[in-house]
Structure formats: structure tokens, C-alpha cells
Amino acid sequence: MIRMGILQVLKTQLLCHLIICYVFLVSGFIINLLQLCTLPLWYINKQLARRINCRLGYSVSSQLVALLEWWSGTECTLYTDPESYPFYGKENAIVVLNHNFEIDFMTGWTFCERFGVLGSSKVLAKKELSFVPVIGWMWYFLEIVFCKRKWEEDRKTVVQSLHNLRDYPENFWFLLHCEGTRFTEKKHKISMEVAEKKGLPKLKYHLLPRTKGFCVTVQNLRGTVTAVYDSTLNFRNNEMPTLLGVLNGKKYHADLYVRRIPLDTIPEEESECAAWLYKLYQDKDEFQEHYRQTGRFPGPITSPPRRPWALLNWLFWVCLLVYPLCMLLLQMLLSGSTFSVVCTFVFCLAVSVGIRWMIGQTEIDKGSNYGNKDANKQ
């Protein structure tokens, strides 16, 4: 009991956070560098270069998974039909997920890890994220699809990037947050005005989905992807988890409801496909209502257990990077030079500021203005 208490206090200490962030940043930069070194291989053996990049990418993203699963002890429960379960991780799929939480990307990654597709997971992400050090840079080599959220500019690049995925050598999940931005009350109000104008029913828990990205993905990945995983995420006790909470060791409980929908049941033609997506979001809204009323999603629980690999990868980087850091700091402090002490201080400050900026990218109140105006009025 006391040991648990000490551990919990330790998890809230700035020094621990600095060490975790230092390991993440330095290992991330090393991996970015290794990814850069794979560039010549793309011309010789592209599939091998892709496989290597999946492993390297895993080594970065699994650190955030380890933080969620092992450091904060967050539990992840999966509600799904047992008949669909054997397909997970064994086929390419498009994942449609609600976008309400600051750590939904980490929770998504955790499920990817449990089904063995973390290194190869893909997303249609906003362009701004490609500039985030470590993760954004890593995504270039993982062939993540970026968009500016301006369809006239995106159409060509998104289609081209989707085409490139057709011969991807590993099973992948392609994540689409069709709402296009995180849920806020203001964005919800505006998107419901758009829904009204379009004659669509109002949604209570979701923004109106943007349909272009979904339709173009379904069209271009037909034959490559076999199913859409309609995924609805929520956290118990109305919690709104944050990355800072996870870093402080706060335990959350995620519930994910997944329905596997074969891709060949989804209409090809654009307006029919859009109507299909609007209907999907009406269903998702009902699942969220059910969760609100009962505290659970419909259907049985078939949860995959956590695996040790993310933790082992994390421990490997900690062992590799913490000892040299201690030696360096000790040497600097023992040298008695004011210059060395100032340098050490500035280094720690730079790591903290850099990481705080990166964490800021996950925070909803620092989010974009996209969806704050009806696009038709812009």
C-alpha cells in the first residue's frame, strides 16, 4: 500500500518527467536519423525500406503506448462482436473514430499495438502535425497522408498518397477522424447549423462528418482494404483525459466499441457514400447515448491483453540513454565550472520548453480554428 503511494508520488515528480521526455526526444532524434539513412534503400528495395521504417516507427510510438499502459496503468476495454475479432490485425482496414479526446491518438495506438499493427498504422492527418519533431518527421517515412483541410489543394496529394499505399507490405489500419477537428461546443453548434441546412438530423455527441476524405479513401483503397472499423471511444466517469495527466501517472479507463463493416457493402458513388457516412455518424451518436445512459457500449467485451513489447522497447532506450546522461551531468557539475552548470540548466530548460510545446499540440484549447466557421461562409 505504502509502496504504491510512493510510486504514485514519484510519477508526479518533475525529475521523472524530465527523464521520460529526454529519453523520448533523444531516442526519437536517433530514430529520425536512422530513418533518413534508409532513404537510399528506397531506390534499391522499397519494400524492405518500408518494413524497416515500420520497426523504427514502432520504437517511437510504442513509447507513448508504454506511457499509457504501464506508467499510467490506463485500462483499455474493447467491445466487439467475437466473429469480427479474428480479423483484427490480419487485414488492412479503414478506422473511423470520433475525435473528442486529447489522448485519443494514444488510445488508438494502444489498440494498434495489441493487434500488432502499430508500426504500420496510418492516418489522414492535418499538415501542421508533419512539423512536430520526432513524431511528425517519423510520419514522412511511414507514408502518412497529410491534408491542409482545403479540398481544392488536397484532392491531388491525398489521392496520390492513397495510391502509394496500395502495395504496402504490412497490414495497416488507416485512421480517419471524419469530423476533421476535435469536438468543442462552438464547433458543434456551427456544424449542426450546417447539418440543418443540409436537411440532416442533428447529432448530440459528434460534429457533422466531412465526407470527402472518407469517400476518396474508400474509392482509392478498394481492393487493398477489406473492411471499415466503425470505432467509438469514450472514457469512464465522464473523464476528459490529458497527456499531462498520463505523464503524472493518472489512470484512466478507455472503452472502445468497434463494428467491422465489409468494404464491399459501402457504396462507391460519391453522394451515396457521403449519405452512408452521415448515417454511420447517426448510429455512432446512438452508441454514445447508450454509453451515457448505461455506462457501457452494446455487445460483448472481447479485450486483447497488453503485450510486453512496448515496455521492453522503452526500457531498452532508458538503459541506453539515462546512464550517459547521468555521467555527463556529473562530470559537468564536478568540473565546478559556472559555464558547465549554466549549459546544463539551459539544456534542461530547452528540453522542457520543447516538450511542453509538443504536448500543447495535443491540447484541445490550443486547437485550430477549423470548423469554427461554416466553410461555405468563409
Ligand X SMILES: CCCCCCCCCCCCCCCCCC(=O)OC[C@@H](O)COP(=O)(O)O
Binding site for ligand LBKI3ST6 (CB under 6 A): 95, 97, 105, 108-109, 111-112, 121, 123-126, 129, 147, 149-151, 154, 173, 175-178, 180, 190-191, 194, 207-208, 210-214, 229, 231, 258, 371, 374-376
Question: Exposed, middle or buried by CB within 10 Å (0-12, 13-18, 19+), for 340?
Answer: middle
By CB under 6 A, is residue 162 in contact with ligand X? Answer: no
From the CB of 129, what's the least distance to ligand X, in Å? Answer: 6
Residue 177 sits in the site that holds ligand X (CB under 6 A): yes
Q: How many CA atoms lie within 13 A of 202 on its CB side?
A: 7
Site for ligand X contains 271 (CB under 6 A): no
Distance CA 378, CA 370 (A): 11
Partners of 229 in the β-ladder:
95, 260
- Cβ at position 120, least distance to ligand X in Å: 17
Q: Is residue 61 a contact residue for ligand X (CB under 6 A)?
A: no
Buried (b) or exposed (e) across 253-267, using 16+ Cβ within 10 A?
Answer: ebbbbbbbbebeebe
21 is in the binding site of which of ligand LBKI3ST6, ligand X, none (Cβ under 5 to 8 A by kind)? ligand X
Shortest approach of ligand X to residue 108 CB, angstroms?
A: 10
**If binding is defined by CB under 6 A, does position 20 make contact with ligand X?**
yes
67 binding ligand X? (CB under 6 A): yes
Give Cα 282 to chain centroid, integer Å.
24
362 binds, among ligand LBKI3ST6, ligand X, none (CB under 5 to 8 A by kind): ligand X
- Contact between 253 and 236 under an 8 Å Cβ cutoff? The reply is yes
- Among ligand LBKI3ST6, ligand X, none, the one that 154 touches (CB under a kind-dependent 5 to 8 A) is ligand LBKI3ST6
Residue 56 in contact with residue 35, Cβ under 8 Å?
A: yes
CB of 310 to ligand X, least distance (A): 10
**Interface with ligand X in residues 88-107 (CB under 6 A):** 105
What b-and-e string marks burial along 37-58, b requiring 16 or more CB atoms within 10 Å of the CB?
Answer: ebeeeeeeeeeebbbbbbebbb
Query: 11 and 305 in contact (C-beta within 8 Å)?
Result: no
**Burial, 303: exposed, middle or buried (Cβ in 10 Å; 0-12, 13-18, 19+)?**
middle
Identify what 173 binds: ligand X, ligand LBKI3ST6, none; CB under 5 to 8 Å per kind.
Answer: ligand LBKI3ST6
Give the shortest CB-136-to-ligand X separation in angstroms: 7
SS3 of residue 93 by DSSP: strand
If contact means CB under 5 to 8 A according to the sort of partner, which of ligand LBKI3ST6, ligand X, none does residue 182 touch? ligand X
User: Which of these, 176, 178, 49, 62, lies nearest to 112 by C-alpha position?
Assistant: 62
* Residues making contact with ligand X (CB under 6 A): 20-21, 24, 63-64, 67, 105, 126, 129, 132, 135, 177, 181-182, 355, 358-359, 361-362, 367-368, 370
